[in-house]
Amino acid sequence: MPNTPFYLDPQPIYFGGFKREYADSDFALFGVPFDCTSSYRPGSRFGPDAIREASANIETWSWRTGMDFEDLKVHDLGNVAVVYGDAAETIRRVADTVEDINSTRKVPIMLGGEHLITLGSAKAIKDCTFVSFDAHFDLRDEYLSNKLSHACVMRRIMEEEGKERVLLCGVRATFGEEVRWVKENGIRYMTSRDLLREGVGSSSSWLKEQLKDAGKIYISIDMDVVDPAYAPGVGNPEPEGIAPSLLLDILGEIIDERVVGFDLVEVAPHYDNGRTAVLASKMIFEICTMIEQARK
């Protein structure tokens, strides 16, 4: 087991309905039930356990990879014991957790919680390119006088890793000042309209070109990148998103042996009938099998 002492484990339900021994695992999954900077609809702190419950009740076969998630070696650590209202301490605990997992040569899988928690991964994994699928840029310098806000997370990650190490995909919700900052600083992005218009082939080709010199890749998925017709249970829903199949098909094209971790955040289960948590679970199954296949 990792040395980080911040787990509430065991959980009533393990992700996928089972848990491998940590020493024998290739993936280490953990939840971060934190949503203290949510600006519209709070409740993503309930996301990790809702995703676990859904994952134990859906089928695990991937037609994309021809693999069964049940055959993968995944250990569910439980949830990080967050400090409610203390974003800085929560990020520190996430960073310690990811660092410990990496030290044992396993792939961290983080369940949110709000998108701010991805900053913890950036503090732990250096010299890494972060690919964020999100309806929002999350590039404000501060939001409501707070620099540690979900609306600022990619700005903070750029300060950790550099502007050239962040790619933003699926963006459609922003405002004038943020757009100007993006253009002035040469930030690389594709809007949801770009993805829908270009389709899997052109979109993944653009991403591959941007990632050709990346040594390590981390993928962050804010569920609001998906259109609310498919994923209504999120903190900040925005119309004109992309379909889950398009997102997964693009991921299938860009995931390779360089992927060192991923997260899925912003599932707020109280705003729908459980379908967003089911979709999140399916996406995690698919991404894990993609990573496993790429490493063989």
Q: According to the annotation, is 76 in a ligand binding site?
A: no
Q: According to the annotation, is 75 in a ligand binding site?
A: no
What span, in angstroms and rounded, lies between the C-alpha atoms of 167 and 219? 10
Q: According to the annotation, is 138 in a ligand binding site?
A: yes
What span, in angstroms and rounded, lies between the C-alpha atoms of 31 and 8? 10
Burial 174-211 (b: 16+ CB within 10 A, else e): beeebeebbeeeebbbbbbebbbeeebeebbebbeebe
What span, in angstroms and rounded, lies between the C-alpha atoms of 108 and 62? 20
Q: Give yes or no for a contact between 230 and 141, defined as CB atoms under 8 angstroms apart.
A: no
Q: Give yes or no for a contact between 250 and 203, defined as CB atoms under 8 angstroms apart.
A: yes
Joined tokens for residue 86 = 């203390």
Q: According to the annotation, is 134 in a ligand binding site?
A: yes
What span, in angstroms and rounded, lies between the C-alpha atoms of 144 and 129? 28
Tracing tokens 């979109």 back to the chain, one arrives at 203
Nearest to 263 by CA among 21, 3, 102, 32: 32
Q: According to the annotation, is 141 in a ligand binding site?
A: no
C-alpha triplet 31, 103, 138: angle, nearest 5° = 45
Q: According to the annotation, is 222 in a ligand binding site?
A: yes
DSSP label at residue 156? H
Measured in whole angstroms, the distance separating CA 2 from the mean position of its chain's CA atoms is 21
What span, in angstroms and rounded, lies between the C-alpha atoms of 171 and 190? 7
Extract the annotated binding site for Mn(2+): 115, 134, 136, 138, 222, 224
Extract the annotated binding site: 115, 134, 136, 138, 222, 224
